[in-house]
Amino acid sequence: DGAVSSLPALSDCSTTFVFRLAAPMALRHLLAVAVTVLALDMAAAGGGSAALGVNYGQVADNLPSPQAAAVLLRALNATKVKLYDADARVLSAFAGSGVDFTVGLPDNMVPRLASDPSAAATWVRSNILPHLPATSITAVTVGNEVLTGSDATMLRSLLPAMQSLHAALAACNLTSRIAVTTAHSLAVLSSSFPPSSAAFRHDLLPYITPLLAFLAKTGSPFLVNAYPYFAYKADPGTVDLDYVLFEPSAAAVADSATGLRYGNMLHAQVDAVRAAICAADYGRAVEIRVSETGWPSQGDGDEAGATPQNAARYNGNLMRLVAQGKGTPAAPGEPLQVYVFALFNEDQKPGPASERHYGLFKPDGTPAYDVGVKAPTIKGLKGSGNGDGNGTGSGVGMVVGEGPAGADGFAVGPGGLYTISDATHKVRRWRWTESLAAMAAVLAMVSWS
C-alpha cells in the first residue's frame, strides 16, 4: 500500500519522518524509477549548470499575488528565489514547486538574536518549520549589508546572531539543509581593481575574519551584492558600456599580476572578493555567490545608462551566461550562482528613480523589457497582491496566455488560456523529480535483502 507514509508538517524540533517500508521489490522499483527520472531531468536541464536565481522584493503596494509571481518565475526558468523576509504567503504559495528559497531575517532582529538565544529558536519555529518540507528553504540571510552600515551595535551583533540562528537550526537537525549567511555590498573592499590586489577594508577585518571562519566551518556561502551599473553611472565617460553589459565585443581587461583577462565587470568584481577572501586565509573553502545584481530600466536625468535597452542587454546576457554554467576567470570550473534583482518594479522604494525600476516585470505582469525569454502574458493583474481583497486575492479568474499550443509543455484550456489557479497547480509540479530524488536517497540508505 505504498512505500512512504504521508509526511507530517514540522511543528517543532522533535518531529520525525516515519517511513512505511514496502516489499523489497517495490522499493527497488521505486528507487529505479526515481533515479531514471532524475537523470532525464538533469539531462534536460543541462547537467551541472548553475540555476538562475531571482530576488523577490515586495517594497510596493501594487504587486500581484505570489501565485501569479510563481508563473512568471517559471517562465524565466528560475529555480532559486531570494526573499528579504520569510513571507508566509509566498512560502506557502510555492509549496511543492521545487523552487529553492533563501529567506531573510530583518536587520532589526539582528541585535535581539545576538543577545537572546531563545529568540533564534522562536524565529525558526515561527518562520521556517511551518513550511518544511513542502517548501524548500536552503539558506537564511541574517541582515543585509550590515557591515557597511554605521550602527556599531549591528556590527558587533552580526556574527553572534548568525551563530545563534545556526544553533537553533542545529537543534532541529536542519543545518545540513539550511545555510546561515549574510549579504555584503562591494563596499566591504578597500579596493577592487585589479581583482588580484583586492582586500577587505582594514576597519572591517575584526568582523569579517571571524565571519569567514564561521562560513568555512559551516559550509555556508559568502554573498555579495554586485552592481556594475553603479560603476558606469559614476563614470560613464570612462567605463566601457559593452564591458559592463557582458557584450562579446567588449575589450577584455587584463589583471597584470595574474595574466587573467576579464570580458565583463561582474566577473572582475567577484574575483576581487575571491582575492580578498584568499588574503584573509580562507580561500576556496568559502563559495562566493552573487546575491544581487541587475540594471535599472529607468532613472533620473543624472542616472546615465538607465534605459530599457541597457537593462535588457545586461540581464539577457547575464541569464545566458548563467545558463552556460561558466565560472569566473579565477575559478572557471565553478559555475557562478547569481540572483538577479529583481522580479518586479517596486514603487515604494526610496531613493532615485532607478531604485523603483530594477524589475524584470511590471506589477501588472507584463515584461519591463525583452530579455530574450518567453514570458506568459498575465491579464487582469491589478491590486495590492496581499490577498486582502483589493484586486488579486487568490487570483481566481485571472487569465494567463502561454503562447501557441501550450508552449510550457502542459495542456491548456480553450484558446491556449488557463486561469491563474490552473497555472498554480502546474507550477507546483515543477522539478517534481527533486522529490523523487530525495525519496531515492532515503530509500538507498535503507537496507533490504
Assign 109 to helix, strand or coil.
Answer: helix
Q: Is 434 a catalytic residue?
A: no
Catalytic residue among 287, 292, 303, 346: 292
Angle, in degrees to the nearest 10, between helices 152-171 and 117-127: 60
Radius of gyration of the chain (CA): 22
Catalytic residue among 145, 287, 303, 346: 145
CB-based contact 138:178 (threshold 8 Å): yes
CA dist., res. 229 & res. 439, Å (int)? 43
CB-based contact 208:188 (threshold 8 Å): yes
CA dist., res. 379 & res. 432, Å (int)? 28
CA dist., res. 44 & res. 216, Å (int)? 33
Assign 337 to helix, strand or coil.
Answer: coil
Cα–Cα nearest to 254, from 242, 246, 263, 243:
263
Half-sphere exposure of 249 toward its Cβ, with a 13 Å CA cutoff? Answer: 4
Assign 170 to helix, strand or coil.
Answer: helix
CA dist., res. 34 & res. 443, Å (int)? 10
Q: C-alpha grid cell for residue 316?
A: 539577457
Cα–Cα nearest to 306, from 295, 315, 317:
295
Q: Which residue has the cell 555584503?
A: 184
CA dist., res. 253 & res. 275, Å (int)? 17
CA dihedral 386, 387, 390, 392 (to 10 degrees): 100
Q: Which helix (H) or strand (E) holds 417?
A: strand 417-419
Q: Is 292 a catalytic residue?
A: yes
CA dist., res. 171 & res. 178, Å (int)? 12
Q: Which helix (H) or strand (E) holds 183?
A: strand 179-185
Label each residue of 351-389 as H, E or C.
CCHHHHCCCCECCCCCECCCCCCCCCEEECCCCCCCCCC
Q: What share of the chain is helix, strand, coil (3-state, %, to 5)?
A: 40, 15, 45
CB-based contact 305:236 (threshold 8 Å): yes
Catalytic residue positions, numbered? 145, 292
